[in-house]
Amino acid sequence: MIERYPPIWQDPMHGSDIRHDWQREEIAALFALAFNDLLYQAHGVHRAHHHPSTVQISTLLSIKTGACPEDCAYCPQSSHYDTQIERERLLPVDEVVAAARAAKRAGATRFCMGAAWRNPTDKNLNKVIEMVGAVRAQGLETCATLGMLNAGQASRLAAAGLDYYNHNLDTSPEYYGNVITTRTYRERLDTLAHVRDAGISVCCGGIVGMGESAADRTGLLQQLANLPRHPESVPINLLVQVEGTPLHGTAALDPIEFARTIAVARILMPASVVRLSAGRAQMSDELQALCFFAGANSIFYGDKLLTTENPEQHADRQLFARLGLHTVGEGNAPDAAA
């Protein structure tokens, strides 16, 4: 008989392993574990807090594309680089609603709206707030990523009913200056604090495979795990190399190291949803399967993530069927925590 870890709703000790005081040496020691030992530990934590065969699906739509003034070295939407991305105006609300309906029909439970801004103007924020209400009316959770926010803007989005705000830290504080110079790490942390203070759930993760060291991956996860509250969603992105950006041509990250990163994220942030985000189109089915076992329990679903490729929906459905995974709200699978 296979021993099963108790699900979160039956675990009287839930919360006892939630920490915010991780030291880098402890995290580095997790990365250094034998791979099987690390996966065993991460999978145990995963089962203690989440249904082990349930995956939450989100869909991400670019509502305003290109001409971003930031110089993020990975981003094809930056105005600093020639990547053949056409500048587009903010989408009309009816186009956003149509995309949200299609996402819901495909099985998504959360609809994320991304705009290539350093920070939204009040005029643009008014339009996004209208989108939030229209998407919520379709019965979907809402998420937005619009760049930096001040406290007043976060409060307005909260009043509109925004469920999640995404603002990634990207990498460790030490490596950050190698990737971005137009926005400071402190400014990112300040936006997260404004979002949290407004009562919006936080979606925050990073990108690996940007030429950073193992110590930088440790530093990124330490920053996330030692926030006053863990992000409800933690997207782990694998760099998608786009010609014309400074990071094009960076040596690819070892897939086993990527799986290790997912496993360590799961151990450090037990109750968070860990999302396989950008880069899945370059991942084998076997790597994704390892990541789901290691604690990933969310994906972005749809043929495109903002401007880069994502696996086709039928390919994801086929993989889920092969692995015996269910999506949140589907069939007899219990809903996972958001």
Name which of 30, 37, 103 is nearest 267 in CA terms.
30
Q: Which of 156, 196, 203, 260 is catalytic?
A: 203
Residue 5 and residue 46: Cα distance in Å, rounded?
9
Tell how strand 304-305 and strand 308-309 pair up.
antiparallel
Q: Which of 47, 110, 183, 275 is catalytic?
A: 275
> Residue written as tokens 């994502």?
310
β partners of residue 60:
112
CA angle, residues 19, 24, 30, in degrees to nearest 5? 80
Q: Residue 26 is encoded by which pair of tokens?
A: 């402890």
Q: How far apart are CA 214 and CA 204, in angstroms?
A: 20
For the CA atoms of 164, 41, 285, 306, the dihedral, rounded to the nearest 10 degrees, stands at: 20
> Is residue 204 annotated as a catalytic residue, yes or no?
no
Identify the bridge partners of residue 145 per DSSP, sorted by sequence position: 114
Residue 291 annotated in active site: no
For residue 317, give the nearest of 301, 296, 297 by alpha carbon.
301
- Residue from 75, 217, 260, 291 carrying the catalytic annotation: 75
The active-site residue out of 47, 68, 217, 266 is 68
Cα gap 320→299, rounded to integer Å: 11
Residue in this structure with the two tokens 């307005």, named with its chain if needed: 156
Q: Tokens standing for 225?
A: 């795990």
Contacts of 331 (CB under 8 A, 6+ apart): none
Catalytic residue among 110, 112, 196, 266: 112
CB contact at 8 A, 140 and 181? no
Two tokens at 307?
Answer: 């401007």
User: Per the residue annotation, which of 47, 110, 143, 183 is the catalytic one?
Assistant: 143
- Cα 80 to its chain centre, rounded Å, is 25
Residue 46 near residue 262, CB atoms below 8 Å: no
Q: Tell me which of 72, 188, 204, 280 is the catalytic residue.
A: 72
183 as an active site residue: the answer is no
Residues catalogued as catalytic: 68, 72, 75, 112, 143, 203, 275
